[in-house]
Amino acid sequence: MKTLLACLPLALMPLLAWARDDGDEARKAAAGWVEAGYTLPSPPDERHLLAFRVGAHPVGRFLLDPESLTVGEDGVIRYTLVMRGSGGASTTTFEGVRCGTRERRLYANLERDGGWRPFKKSAWQPLPVAGSSIAMFAYSGNDPRATLAYGYLCDGSAPRRAREDIIGRLRGKRVDYLDPYHGVEP
């Protein structure tokens, strides 16, 4: 047991180095980054929504509209998120995630009449990381946006290779990706 505890810091060193290096590279790349334009999608079709679990004890349903999902040339993954509370309340938003900087942005809210209302003060905000950047690999909090980013949308600090990879993962299919530090995902 004593030997195991002594080896634990050594085993975590590559992961800690990755987290530190990744943030430095992301900040350097973000300095010259310009967001591309986007188009608000059609309202989501109930028949196509894909559910995903958020936290150990979900308090509602969380669904992504695969028809709205795009992986932009600017590195932003955009999608429509539907959140339904256990009491019946529902919110639908069009959002974006930047994997390299671990940020999210809310673009618009779907009104009752089916039209989008853009947010007036829409800015990039940090995603929760549950205490450390290592959480990128095992986020278990109750934030649906962080769950989507860390569990489905991002490969570490990079977006998944293709829209189909993200949809496959949401449907429960194994999707391999190349981790530059550790090879293919187990």
Q: What is the pLDDT of residues 47-101, one digit of tens each?
A: 999 999 887 767 789 999 999 999 999 999 999 999 998 888 999 999 999 999 9
Q: Which of 75, 125, 115 is nearest to 94 (CA)?
A: 115
For tokens 């334009």, name the residue.
37
**In a domain? residue 86:** yes
Distance CA 131, CA 8 (A): 19
CATH number at residue 130: 2.40.128
**In a domain? residue 12:** no
**In a domain? residue 33:** no
Quote the domain boundaries for residue 45. 40-171
What does the mean pLDDT of the chain come to?
78
Higher per-residue pLDDT: 129 or 128: 128
Task: Give yes or no for residue 18 having a pLDDT over 80.
Answer: no
**In a domain? residue 16:** no
Q: What total of structural domains would you count in the chain?
A: 1
**In a domain? residue 4:** no
How many other CB atoms sit within 10 Å of the CB of residue 142?
Answer: 14
pLDDT for 19 equals 44
pTM here is: 0.73
pLDDT for 174 equals 62
Task: Give yes or no for residue 138 having a pLDDT over 80.
Answer: no
Q: Which of 106, 109, 87, 86 is nearest to 96 (CA)?
A: 106
**In a domain? residue 24:** no
**In a domain? residue 35:** no
